[in-house]
Structure formats: C-alpha cells, structure tokens
Amino acid sequence: MDDDPLWYVAYGSNLFQERFRCYLSGGRPRGSARHHTGCRDPRPARATCSITVPGGIYFAHTSLTWGGGMAFYDPDLPGRAAARAYLLTRRQFCDVLSQEMRRGTGTDHDLSEALARGRQRLGPGRYETVLKVGERAGRAMLTFTSPAPAPPNAPTAPYLAMLGGGLREAHGWSTARAASYLAGRPGAQGVWTARAVAGVLG
C-alpha cells in the first residue's frame, strides 16, 4: 500500500491533541471510559494545523463513551466547521479510522474512491463514510462522518467540555466564542444556551 502522508481532519473530540494522541500510541484519554489500542505506527503526527472546512457539525446518535449526541460533519450545512488537521501516514489514518469504526486495527482500507471522487462509504456505521474535504501542500485532507444526517440529539456536558477544550487549544478561541459555536450547532441548539455551555467550559 502506498503509505504517503495525508491529512486527517478532526472536528470533534480529536481537536484536543492529548486525546488524539491515544489514537496513535494507545491509552485511555482523560474523562473517557474507552481504551484505544493505538496505531501500528505509534509516532506522533508529522505536522498539525488549525483549519476551517466548508459545512458544519451537528450532534446526533448516542455516544457509548460520553452519553448524549456525538459530533458529525455535514459538508452541506451552512458556514464553516472548525477543525484540526494531523499529517499522518496512510497506514496511521487507516488505523485511526478503524478505531473510530470500533474495529480492530491493522486493515489497510482502500481509500481510492474517497481520494478520486470525494466520498466513500466503507460501511453503515456512524463514522464509516470517508470524505475528502480538500488538499494542503499537495496532500489529500480526509475526514469521516455518518453516511447521512441523523435525528439531532443533544450532547452531554462532559463531551462539550472536551470539544470546547479542543477549540480553545487548536484555534485559540475564547470561552465565549467556543461556547457560542457549540451552542449553535444542530442538536445542541435549543437545548444548550451559549451561557450554559460557557459555564461548562469554565
């Protein structure tokens, strides 16, 4: 398999670099009940950068780790989604993808359709659809999400705290800006106010 680097674009809890490190080297992130096996290649990302991508995030389904809705990316939503890109080898990306799909690592997924056409469904699960969201420095930028928008479900306070920490770390946002962004997402909107989210973020 061609193991040239590509960018993994994180828009949810993996905005927080310490948490994402467990996907690479293994371990249990703070605040999570789930232990990650890590990648075959546990080295840190070769580079990281803070970006925005067209579209937005929404909260849906129910997280086995956090309870409440999880973040998903929809390129058809208005606006732009705050994200963080990690430059990984193709094999590392596949192992991160496998962990998000709750499968064992070690599979070199065929990503040719996503790279050529911008979208590839690997399975019916929540994070089993790979999207190409652009290129940077000649490398493809890929993320994964639900195959179709699902009914909204509000996120829990611990999950919002993780997301808010990632937004502040990756983008340098103030608490107020991160809280407003999260409270305005479908699934959170109408359930969480910006003031309430700001209280969660401290």
- The pLDDT tens digits for 4-40 are 899 999 999 999 998 899 999 887 776 666 667 889 9
Confidence at 128, pLDDT banded by 50, 70, 90: very high
User: CATH no. for residue 86?
Assistant: 3.10.490
Reported for 15-18, long-range contacts at CB under 8 A and 24+ positions apart, including other chains, are: 15/82, 15/83, 15/84, 15/163, 15/166, 15/167, 15/169, 15/170, 16/162, 16/165, 16/166, 16/169, 16/170, 17/48, 17/84, 17/166, 17/169, 17/170
Percent of the chain exceeding pLDDT 90 equals 79
Report the amino acid identity of residue 173.
W
Residue 174 lies in a domain: no
Within-domain flag for 65: yes
Task: Give 106-144 as a DSSP string.
Answer: ------HHHHHHSEEE--SSTT-EEEEEEEETTEEEEEE
**Is residue 61 assigned to a domain?**
yes
Residue 188 domain-assigned (yes or no): no
pTM: 0.94
Residue carrying structure tokens 């067209």: 54
Question: Please, are residues 107 and 99 in contact by the beta-carbon 8 Å criterion?
Answer: no
Report which of residues 106 and 53 the model is more confident about.
Answer: 53
With a CB cutoff of 8 Å and minimum separation 6, the contacts of 90 are 1, 2, 3, 4, 5, 6, 108, 111
Instruction: Give me the domain span that covers residue 125.
Output: 6-151
pLDDT of the residue at 103: 86
Q: Is residue 142 part of a domain?
A: yes
If pLDDT is split at 50, 70 and 90, which confidence band does 2 have?
Answer: low
Residue 105 has what pLDDT?
86
Question: What pLDDT, in 10s, does the model give residues 40-88?
Answer: 999 999 999 999 999 999 999 999 888 999 999 999 999 999 999 999 9
Q: How many domains does the chain have?
A: 1
Q: If residue 18 lies in a helix (H) or strand (E), which one and from where to where? A: helix 17-25
Q: Is residue 197 part of a domain?
A: no
**Residue 84 lies inside a defined structural domain of this protein:** yes
The fraction of the chain above a pLDDT of 70, given in percent, is 96
Greatest mean pLDDT range, 24-33, 85-94, 121-130:
85-94
Residue 169 lies in a domain: no
Segment 122-132 shows an average pLDDT of 92
Per-residue pLDDT, 85: 98
